[in-house]
Structure 1
Amino acid sequence: MVRQLRNAGEDPAELPPHELETAVCELEAEHGGAHADYLCEIDPRTQVWVRWEEDRHEFVRLAPCETPAEFADDVCRLFDGHALGHSWEMDDMLHG
């Protein structure tokens, strides 16, 4: 994935520590469209995610969702504009 990050204009050496070996979708199991896996945070308003459908993938900078939970002192750990449920509704978020 290092080569793909460079092709997307990212310098892996300048990113915070991250896992480059595999990608696991963090969206709900029944979502439609592209899969997405969190890679790292650039700053509080910018995260790097890998998105893919079949064998096509891309690295993108996205703002975090930050929708507040209804009954908890928490925010959604997915990206802004994600499909379906928020992270606090999921049992097994990988990064939050």
Structure 2
Amino acid sequence: MGRPPLDEVLRQLRNAGEDPAELPLCELRTAVCELEAEHGGTHAGYLCEIDPRTQLWVRWQGDSHEFVRLAPCEAPADSSDDVCHLFTGHAPGHSWEMAETSCD
């Protein structure tokens, strides 16, 4: 996977004010794309919330990766329990519409 090395992920989380010791290490070592399983292009994995309007994500394609700060998706949901857990401008399909599978 093109997910960056664990030490780089930890450095980015610390720079964002997170304490990596409080996060499950298994989640940091696994490349999990949170977009629709059949999407094209770049994969994206959520790392942490920096503030209510900014999240830290890692995006990758092949062996290339980048850390980006993105605004959360503000799509209106059908019920108060549904909120999209992705970023503004993500590929079609909000998180509440997706099956419990992810792309690699």
Q: How big is the shift at 1:21?
A: 1.4
Q: RMSD in angstroms over aligned alpha carbons?
A: 2.2
Higher RCO (C-alpha 8 Å, min separation 6): 2
Are 1:3 and 2:8 counterparts?
Answer: yes
Distance across 2 between alignment mates of 1:5 and 1:63: 21
> Please, which runs of 5 or more residues in structure 2 have no aligned partner?
1-5
Distance across 2 between alignment mates of 1:77 and 1:25: 12
Residues 87, 93 of structure 1: 8 Å contact kept: no
Deviations 1:12-56 (A, max 9, x none): 262254442122001011111100011111111110111000010
TM-score (norm 2): 0.73
Match of 1:90 in 2: 98
Match for 1:66 among 29, 51, 74? 74
> Please, which runs of 5 or more residues in structure 1 have no aligned partner?
none
From the superposition, tell whether residues 72 and 93 of structure 1 become closer, same or farther in structure 2 (CA, over 3 Å). farther
Match runs of 1:4-83 below 5 Å: 6=11, 10=12, 12=14, 14-15=17-18, 17-18=22-23, 19-69=27-77, 71-73=78-80, 74-83=82-91
Match of 1:20, SS state, is helix
Q: How many residues align?
A: 90
Q: Would you tell me which structure has more helix in proportion to its own residues?
A: 2
Residues 47, 64 of structure 1: 8 Å contact kept: yes
